[in-house]
Amino acid sequence: MRVTELTETSRVVAGTSGRKAKVTALAECLRAAEPEEAATVVAYLSGELPQRQIGVGYAALRDLPPPAVEPSLTVPEVDAAFTEIGAVSGAGSVARRRELVAAVLGRATRPEQDFLVRLLAGELRQGALDGVMAEAIAAAAGVPAAAVRRAAMLRGALGPVATAALAEGAPGLDAFTLEVGRPIKPMLAAAAPSMDEAFAKLAPAGSGKEVAVEWKLDGIRAQVHVSGGEVRVFTRTLDDITVRLPEVAEAVRGLPVRDAVFDGELIALRPDGRPHPFQVTSARTATRTTRSAEPVPLSVFLFDVLHLDGADLLDAPGAERGAALAGVVPAELRMPRLVTGDAARAEEQFDEAVARGHEGVVVKSLDTPYTAGRRGAGWVKVKPRHTLDLVVLAVEWGHGRRRGLLSNLHLGARDPETGGFVMLGKTFKGLTDELLAWQTRRLRELAVREDSWTVHVRPELVVEIAFDGVQHSPRYPGGIALRFARVLRYRPDKSAAEADTIDTVRAVAPVLD
């Protein structure tokens, strides 16, 4: 497939707000692709590189070579060039990379150059389009969208799934199964502002349904794979962190299982059982640890089991998975959990979790399967006060004591319809000197455009924000703005595609006048 076809598809997709029209355009493009190039096509149209990072920053994209007159560049040629660029290392690598970038961009027409530059700069990144892309793959290959989504969650990426679907149809997708040792995307929770609303979603009055009410600990998500005597621990971004956490592997190794995949939370607790500040937990999994600090051991709280000794449990209802977990994991390694149909008893469980210093609870349906990689309807978190994970869209230079530092952050929520971001407000509150220095450095790396006040950045950094409410505001594009937003911390474990959506903002905070 030629890059010009991709560029044209991208233009059509960006130019329409209708989900159906986007799916149709993407499906048409995928149908025209060879199965083996489909993975690359899917990645590019999702604004991603199959290589993830190839070390090309904005600086290398400033002076473009004159464009080609006629389109000729193909997708496999670009992919091969990017792989080569990514492999350059050692002395002189910056110049060599620039040369290779110029060589490939010199063969592109003006619109193709624009497309490739935005792709390399990360500005095409529209993670929220995953759902649209899954539908497009399904339409192009003539398979059910649910089968595509399922395969993607098991594989951890859409590209290889597209190749299989186009080459072999539905049987190709059946080949993606849960493999012990290969992490899958974890199931996520929806949010409710109160226990009553969580119950209204999962166990409405009169339904006679019960739910599980589990503590929500503010630790690190861990997927623990056991195969024979070997234990491996993965983060929610699917990174293998086993070697950093010997105590976790040790705790799980003793369980009476041969093969298993568990889901759980790791957290540093004080001797009295209350949590250490989140930074103490996160320092244990950070790439660079401060040597001076004595590592605090993490406690393991497992709350789900996805595979147990040959049986896949992903599709089993929550009650069955809960029973399977309790059958092999002793209470001290399990998340505290209460099964009840009574909202008042659930509220007591919530109060106890909060009284012990934890974040709140996750209310879980007993009849839904494990919907990996998605904010499934089966889990609903309830916290005393909700915070939001928003994306930094731009930042303003500070004044006075903050002169020379990037300070006032422009915050955006995801718009699941367009794949873009809706700005909800600004804040410079809550930033420590250390955070200011860090964000100044990091945001300059992400800069795409700048005037004397403001630096516009690639929408990649996720920041956790506390706020007092949401109010109507004609000045902001979504018609709402955050009141008294302040920074709690950055969330390096989350990508922009995982940030909260504008719908979540409306769900957790009623809009005040």
Q: What angle do CA 423, 61, 126 make, to 5 degrees?
A: 35
Which one of the spans 123-131, 143-151, 211-219, 341-349 is the region binding ligand ATP (CB under 6 A)?
Answer: 211-219
Choice among 22, 185, 216, 494 that is catalytic: 216
- The answer to whether 386 and 508 are in contact (CB under 8 A) is yes
Tokens found for residue 288: 């660079």
| Binding of ligand ATP by 217 (CB under 6 A) | yes
Q: Which is nearer to ligand ATP, 155 or 375 (CB)?
A: 375
Minimum distance of ligand ATP from residue 473's CB (angstroms): 24
Dist CA 152 CA 137 (whole Å): 11
Name the minimum Å distance from CB 504 to ligand ATP.
9
Residues 180-199 close enough to bind ligand ATP by CB under 6 A: 188-189
Instruction: Please select the residue that binds ligand ATP; options are 37, 112, 135, 389, rule is CB under 6 A.
Output: 389
Is residue 381 annotated as involved in ligand binding?
Answer: yes
C-beta of 217 vs 245, nearer to ligand ATP: 217
Going residue by residue from 258 to 287, which x/- string records binding to ligand ATP, judged by CB under 6 A?
A: -------x----------------------
Closest to ligand ATP by CB, 179 vs 493, is 493
Through-space distance between the first and last CA atoms of the chain, rounded to whole angstroms: 52
Q: Which of 107, 125, 216, 410 binds ligand ATP (CB under 6 A)?
A: 216
Would the annotation count 214 as a binding residue? Answer: yes
Among 37, 79, 135, 214, binds ligand ATP (CB under 6 A): 214
- Sign of torsion, CA 287 288 291 296? negative
**Under rule CB under 6 A, residue 221 binds ligand ATP:** yes
In angstroms, what is the minimal distance from the CB of 381 to ligand ATP? 5
> CA-CA distance, 126 to 19, in Å (whole number)?
14
DSSP string, 297-311: PPEEEEEEEEEETTE
For 203-290, where are the alpha helices, taking DSSP H only? Answer: 246-253, 278-283
Using CB under 6 A, which residues numbered 355 to 374 contact ligand ATP?
362
Helix, strand or coil, per DSSP, at residue 235: coil
Q: Shortest Cβ distance from residue 48 to ligand ATP (Å)?
A: 21
**Which one-letter DSSP state was computed for residue 82?**
H
* Cα 87 to Cα 79: distance, rounded to the nearest angstrom: 12
| Min dist. Cβ of residue 458 to ligand ATP (A) | 21
* 390-419 binders of ligand ATP (CB under 6 A): none
Q: Is 303 in the site for ligand ATP (CB under 6 A)?
A: yes
Tokens of 417: 């319809």
427/395 Cα distance (integer angstroms): 9
Give φ, ψ of 219 to 5 degrees.
-125, -140
Q: 């007159």: which residue's tokens?
A: 69
Nearer to ligand ATP, 73 or 390 (CB): 390
Give the pair of three-digit tokens for residue 125: 């990144």
Structure tokens at 48: 């991603």
Taking the C-alpha atoms of residue 224 and residue 230, their distance in angstroms, rounded to an integer, is 10
221 annotated to bind ligand: yes
Query: Which CA distances in Å does 504 have to 105, 191, 375?
Result: 40, 7, 11
Q: Tell me if 164 sits within 8 A of 173, measured CB to CB.
A: yes
Distance CA 236, CA 111 (A): 37
Pick the closer one to ligand ATP by CB: 107 or 358: 358
421 is in an annotated binding site: no
Tell me the site size for ligand ATP, rule CB under 6 A.
Answer: 14
Rounded distance between C-alpha atoms, residue 83 and residue 89, angstroms? 12
For residue 124, the minimal CB distance to ligand ATP (Å) is 24
Distance of closest approach, residue 335 Cβ to ligand ATP, in angstroms: 4
Point out which span in 30-38, 161-169, 216-224, 402-410 binds ligand ATP (CB under 6 A): 216-224
Q: Nearest-CA neighbor of 307 among 254, 365, 253, 370?
A: 370
Assign 196 to helix, strand or coil: helix
Give alpha helix (H) positions in 46-158. Answer: 75-87, 93-105, 110-121, 130-141, 145-155
Beta-strand runs (E) in 125-208: 188-192
Span 310-349, contacts to ligand ATP by CB under 6 A: 335
Rounded CA-CA distance 336/301 in Å is 8
- Check residue 489 for interaction with ligand ATP (CB under 6 A): no
By the rule CB under 6 A, 350 interacts with ligand ATP: no
CA 433 to chain centre: 28
> Residue 216 catalytic?
yes
Instruction: Tell me the closest approach of the beta carbon of residue 462 to ligand ATP, in angstroms.
Output: 9
User: With respect to ligand ATP, which residue has the nearer C-beta, 68 or 189?
Assistant: 189
Instruction: CB nearer to ligand ATP: give 56 or 463.
Output: 463
Minimum CB distance to ligand ATP smaller for 69 or for 331:
331
**Segment near ligand ATP (CB under 6 A); pick from 71-79, 175-183, 209-217, 326-334:** 209-217
* Stretch of 25-33, 208-216, 276-284, 393-401 lying at the interface with ligand ATP (CB under 6 A): 208-216
Point out the annotated binding site for ATP.
214, 221, 236, 265, 303, 375, 381
Query: What are the residue numbers of the active site?
Result: 216
Pick out the residues of the known binding site.
214, 221, 236, 265, 303, 375, 381
Residues that bind ligand ATP (CB under 6 A): 188-189, 214-217, 221, 236, 265, 303, 335, 362, 381, 389
